[in-house]
Amino acid sequence: MRGGAVRLTRYWHWTVVGLAAAVVLVVTSAYAQESPTACTLLQPAELESALGGKAGEFSAVGGGQAEICNGQVGTFKVIIRTAKRTRDDDGAVERKGIEVARKMGMLVEGKIDGDMTCSTLVPPPSLAEMGFTTGCSILRNGSVVAVEVTARSQKEMVSIDAVGKLVQEAVTRF
């Protein structure tokens, strides 16, 4: 039974990661090869200052569809994403993602400030081990840059303001 619980937890973890991406307007589409890689958009010192921990190694995955940079800063998991947005559905996919998350028992809160959209995802106690995510994205000139920070507990969650400042800095380099 324990193995089944671990598989279920992993399934829910990736479901939450997918929902977080949808909530912050990230889509996987082709983007220009001359664009900087996601891992070059924020410097370790910027991440350390904003999140209060030591930055570890970051690695990029993806390529032709989108680029995702994964890493760790202190106890936080950090994801930096870039992509071209090729659809214009006025946020229908994101609204569907929020609806699914809420049906799973997650508390989803959002904030829009100009071209920046931010959200927090707080899972129910049964899914708490997946983490507590704060994410912000900026859609500008058809491209999306997003930063997501996942904490181990709700008490440790990073503020929308802190993640917002990071994505605002990242988009200037994209």
CA torsion sign for 157, 60, 171, 43 is positive
CA torsion sign for 52, 169, 71, 40 is negative
Residue 149 contacts by C-beta under 8 Å, 6 or more apart in sequence? 51, 73, 76, 77, 78, 133, 134, 135, 158, 162, 163, 166
Q: What is the pLDDT of residue 123?
A: 96
User: 3-state DSSP call for residue 126?
Assistant: helix
Domain boundaries, the chain: 2-172
pLDDT in tens, the chain (174 residues): 445 444 444 444 444 444 444 444 333 333 334 446 899 999 999 999 999 999 999 999 887 668 999 999 999 999 999 988 776 666 677 778 888 888 989 999 999 898 899 999 999 999 999 999 999 999 888 889 999 999 999 999 999 999 999 999 999 998
0.85 surpassed by pTM: no
> What b/e sequence results for 49-78 when a residue is b if at least 16 CB atoms lie within 10 Å of its CB, and e otherwise?
ebbeeebeebebebeeebbbbbbbbeebbb
Residues in the chain: 174
Q: Of 93, 94, 123, 96, whose CA–CA distance to 108 is shortest?
A: 123
CATH number of 2-172: 3.40.1000
